[in-house]
Structure 1
Amino acid sequence: MAKDFRNFEIEDFAFDETFQNWVLDPDSEYRSFWEQYIASHPRQTDKILAARTLVLELKTQQSISDDHDLADSIWQNIQHRIRPKRRWLLPARPGWQWAASIAFLLGMAAYLGWIYLNRDLTHLPAIARQSTQVELLEEVNRTTGTIKIHLSDGSVVSLGRDSRLTYPREFAADQREVHLSGEAFFEVHKNPSQPFLVFADETVTKVLGTSFRIKAYAGSPKVIVEVRTGRVSVFAKKDFEKELTIPERKGLILTPNQQAIFNRDLSHLDKTLIEVPVILASPVEKISFEFNNTPLDRIFQVLENAYGVEIIYEPEVVEGRSLTVGLEDESLYEKLDVICKTLSLSYQIVDAQIIIENKNPKK
């Protein structure tokens, strides 16, 4: 289905033919699409549920004019629980459009009020379940730079341009959960008893306390999670939700200078090194990259300690080899290029590991 629903409002969903078909026909050919769409776009759940109610009410032509007081009360409750930080300026509209908009809002209020009273929310995405229990805030970065968001636990999020973060005013006692669309750098306050979860489209990143960056723009074919400090676990969202009953689920473990790339077309996670690995802070001494007739295995050991990477090679690759060279200003990959070119070696990166081989292996 080629249509882009990400910016749809309630009325847009309500008047879409595929959406109407799904709502009104239990055996609709669009049922699978819309159920998957709701699961993948949790921030639109409330709008979709409101639009569904509106379609059903328009179909049966039931009047809601006698329920204004009740609907207004429910709407006040919902506004208190789900209160975006954004402010909207409403354009002037003809009278009939205002009447239609009021009907949409009342329809959403009635249905969400029913949800709140019944509390049976196990079938909804996590953000929809959470929205009926705590007050959610939403920050959208429309500037040309980054903006800092301070969360209730002391964590700080640097939100990139054209990005959106949804988070509770106060976190639950058992875990901290936020939802990202776009790019952000997270500095998470460490709390082993309260894991920090970032839902970003088709991925879930779980940490206890660390710093990392997530890139999950809606139009991009990939979701990327890069780790700067600490350790994180990255899951495909569908796998994470399947394993909710397993408390020690591990996911794809990442350490500093590693990244996970989720391919949306293939629904597959891969682990590799980040584009520009950085030297990890050394609490003991400054690391020197000046080598004077230094054995090759010792050089690789220095690189491993400096960048937190694993370098793998067969014993014969380093046997009897040494090097005199200064590599203070080069990046990790430039260092490897110099070493390999000088000693007729080659390297490749596999699963975040650096594999060193002879360029012309003996037969």
Structure 2
Amino acid sequence: MDFTFYTPEELAANESFINYYRGINAADVEKWQLWISASPQNATQATAACELLDAVYHVPSAQEMSYERQRLLNHISNSTAPNIDNSPIPTRQFPLWVKFGLAACFALILGYFSYQYLGSSNEVIWETSTASVGKKIKLTLSDGTKVTLNSNASLRYPLKYQGETREVFLEGEAFFEVAKDKAHPFIVHSGEISTQALGTAFNVTNLPSSKEVKVSLLEGKVKVYGKNEIGQVLLNPGEQALFDKANNQLILKQGNTDQAVAWLTNTIIFNGANFDDIALAMQQYFGKKLINKSNANNWSYNSSFKNADYKTVIEAICFSKNISYVEKGDTIIVK
């Protein structure tokens, strides 16, 4: 749980808290609900932040705008030269956070109306959704494409698509069910490679700590290509594209699609997994760092786990290798 203290202004400027306020990201909603319930002080700060955001996200209707405009014009036309009053002007002291909050609100509201009435209507507004460790979230993009983000994955996408292509940026692992639109190809950028589809279902794995990026195709056809003239491959169902980060090589191979999307059913599959594969899975699914201080050399491990917690997984692995483990915070040491 996050024990950080936030002021109302910090919360109102926090993208994750704004997602909670707007209710558009299940992971963020859960995160901030836990934070708010942790203490009465957190609840007070969150309430104040929501009041600031109420002012920002309230968009006046056309009738309200017309009324306020006419009221301002009437006030100007009826005004006469003011009488000068040299008496001291009474002042009201507000808390510092209220002053900063009001200033932030006025700046945001001014920016909003400047964009609405003066800015370009073609500007793309981007959103980022992130699945917390051990959680999956499902998204439906503006074109109808459905995306499932695996644990610790992040997707950056437009709130509304414009132009000739539909593009998103992925870190981590995600499963895509792309809405068909032949006139507007759907493109997933994942590190050094991109995957282009018209209407299909595929899985992309782009983990920061992994040595490769993997694209697994279940339905349809996709084109996977890389930057800097790495090349391209066309995938048919049941095939995989593997990009080696170290050698900048993109290859085509037959793949096990059932294993590639096992995570959608909370299943972890180890098929001849070495220690690095196991450590990667423990970090991705459970947020646990695995360190090997044992004498075990042959880590070719085969097993599968469904709806298992990290202790079940690590205990089964240690039992099969006749080794033990100790925990230190989020670190697991096998010995």
Q: TM-score, normalised by structure 2?
A: 0.42
TM-score (norm 1): 0.39
